[in-house]
Amino acid sequence: MHFGLGIDAGGTYTDAVLIRGSDGAIVDSKKAFTTYPDLQVGIKNVLYSLDQEILKSVNLVSVSTTLSTNSLLEGTGTNVGLIIVGEKPAQTEFPTQYMMCVEGGHDTRGDEACELDICSVEDFIETTRSKVSAYAVSAYFGVRNPEHELKVKEFIMEKTGMPVVCGHELSQELGAYERAVTAVLNAQLIPITYQFVNSVVKDIRGRGIEARLLMLKCDGSVYNLEDALERPIETIFSGPAASLLGASYLSKMETCAVIDIGGTSTDVSMLYNGVPEISSSGATVGGWKTRVRAMKMETSATGGDSHIWVTESKVHVGPRRVIPLCVASKMYPDLSNKLKRSKVISRNLMDENYQPTKFFVRSDYEASDLDKDEKEVLSFMGSDPVSAVELSGMLNRTVATNVFDSLVQKRLIQGIGFTPTDALHVLGVYTKWDVDASETGAMNLARYVTKGKYDLCTHVRELVAKNMAADLMSYILPHHPSGMIADLLSHEYPAKFKVELPVVLLGGPSQAYGSELRSLIEADVVVPEFADVGNAVGALAGKGVKRIEIMIMPASIENPDEDFLVFSPVGRERFQRYGDAVEFATGLGKELVLDYESRCGILEQDTKISVSKKTTSPDNWSHPPLETRVTIVGVGNPMMILKD
């Protein structure tokens, strides 16, 4: 008998499930803390807690993760150098401070528009190689001819040995700016994705499990785990994609809305007749527009581990993730005493870092590229938590809050603080960890907002539920202003939203928010069994879907009956006859689809391939089309492996 293993690594927990191939039943599920910086420890812990005999019979492993999404949401990705070849996009904001434009690029036909200035590339990498961990390259009309992108990539790798990401490798869509952003974000994610993938492979193979290894992508499809190392950007929203598929699997509903309450973020998405909605314009993450095909969703930086902090009698939620006080006190025995001895902080000084419940602890990440203030602060930090006020006392000066922000972004320190999870502990709704630490933290914060500790925690629970409801309604009503949605959720008006499809809640604290959500909107709110490991279930439910789009156009409008250009993900080809061009595009598309499915362990006979052709021509045009788009789609089910 065969079994499938689903693994989901979130910002707080790493979950695992075992599913029996014969009937799809969940036979075991476990949770363990995600461990930083060595992710393998968390993976090892959760796998060791599973039934070891069943684990030996696993022949399919599929994983999902929110680590890449969290990294982009929190701004903790590594530094990247961006090289734009050719005409610079009109937009001036990019997700990196290290960027330059060099001459080069191609035209709409894929012909060289300007010779590549490789000398400027060399000058750029010499000045940035010590400050970045990877490079991104995006060339003008690189999707029509990637020659210059590939030349720059080869040159940088030869000179530095660092990873390099090209825009054409990630998207065949036009849009130089979006491709450049996509390439930068992809390069930022390479280190953490490599670490995660390597951790999974090492542990699975170390157990002698020779299973097929897959990873869920952000559109709900899967790809070979090794391919994720080259295109980690496709793992953004992998976790939410898993939650959507997992919710459908667990609730047995093919049409539903899903709210996934994670440690770092809450994600809303929707499934219609078993098919997730795909964003037509590319995913947006951390405010950056990309060219990545992803499920349409609404994401907010509100989760169970979001930092709860106060300023001017106002309670703030997030956006940064911290270790909850209730959890941290189990990890650091003296933390409870520090909380009880917490000193009053001047209200003028209070911000996200200067809080009576906020502490920092040194991580195991290696320090590099630090300024004087960062080095000094880090030198006073050991293995025990310390507050910003304490550090300022040690240094005899007030440490600027941006120093803490920078060290957190570089993953050199981790925050500890009051969270929605702590609020649930105080309210007695969820009491897995140290309730006393949560209660002390609540009392410390409550004095700054003139509330009792229970009133404060009730308010936090309501804020989180309102954020969830607002995300859901913003998803359903995308063209309605957020102010209008907030008004209807405020209970100030005799009106209420009604949602006419089921709403499935997933995540560890989902039971705690079911009643709160029902009080805000009229809906059938469902919390299925195994909701706390729904993402790990969804990791196994993804299909092997590959879509290849190839464009054909005449090389010259003056002679539209012969000489045709074919633009595909592998480059540009030329054919004299239109029929030959179409035949080549179709054959190449099928070849790329079957190669993809094969790497997912799906046999050719189990792959359904469809081919469509869309043409564009002026009225009364008697020649071959001015533009032809050949689309080849292959669909296979990796879980067929379990049926053998």
* DSSP-derived pairing of the beta strands 323-324 and 521-522: unpaired
SS3 324: strand
**Looking at the domain assignment, is residue 137 inside a domain?**
yes
H-helix or E-strand spanning residue 595: helix 578-599
**Looking at the domain assignment, is residue 570 inside a domain?**
yes
Sign of CA dihedral 160, 162, 166, 167: negative
What amino acid is encoded at 239 in this protein?
G
Answer whether 381's CB lies under 8 Å from 349's CB.
no
- Domain boundary among the residues 131, 166, 184 is at 184
pLDDT at residue 25, as a whole number: 86
- Domain boundary among the residues 123, 152, 184 is at 184
pLDDT digits (tens, 9 = 90+) for 499-555: 889 999 988 778 888 888 888 888 899 989 888 888 888 888 877 777 888 989 898
Enclosing domain of residue 568: 544-643
**Looking at the domain assignment, is residue 109 inside a domain?**
yes
**Looking at the domain assignment, is residue 69 inside a domain?**
no
Answer whether 525's CB lies under 8 Å from 501's CB.
no
Residue ranges of the chain with per-residue pLDDT less than 70: 37, 66-78, 90-91, 142-143, 169-175, 218, 229-237, 239-240, 275, 278-295, 640-644
Exposed, middle or buried by CB within 10 Å (0-12, 13-18, 19+), for 204?
A: buried
pLDDT at residue 644, as a whole number: 56
**Looking at the domain assignment, is residue 148 inside a domain?**
yes
Answer whether 204's CB lies under 8 Å from 211's CB.
yes
Question: Across all residues in the chain, what is the average pLDDT?
Answer: 83
pLDDT digits (tens, 9 = 90+) for 302-343: 888 899 999 988 999 888 889 999 999 998 988 988 898 887
Provide the domain count of the chain.
2
Comparing CA positions, the residue from 94, 64, 60 lying closest to residue 79 is 94
Alpha helices, H only, 396-481: 401-409, 420-427, 435-446, 453-476
**Looking at the domain assignment, is residue 172 inside a domain?**
yes
- Domain boundary among the residues 184, 205, 228 is at 184
**Looking at the domain assignment, is residue 159 inside a domain?**
yes
Exposed, middle or buried by CB within 10 Å (0-12, 13-18, 19+), for 130?
A: exposed
SS3 95: coil
pLDDT at residue 355, as a whole number: 93
Comparing CA positions, the residue from 591, 594, 601 lying closest to residue 214 is 601
What amino acid is encoded at 145 in this protein?
N
Using CA atoms, how far apart are residues 550 and 584, in angstroms rounded to an integer? 10
First to last CA, the chain: 9
**Looking at the domain assignment, is residue 154 inside a domain?**
yes
Using CA atoms, how far apart are residues 431 and 253, in angstroms rounded to an integer? 31
pLDDT at residue 104, as a whole number: 85
H-helix or E-strand spanning residue 565: strand 564-568
Count of C-beta atoms within a 10 Å radius of residue 36: 17
pLDDT digits (tens, 9 = 90+) for 430-454: 888 899 999 999 999 998 988 889 9
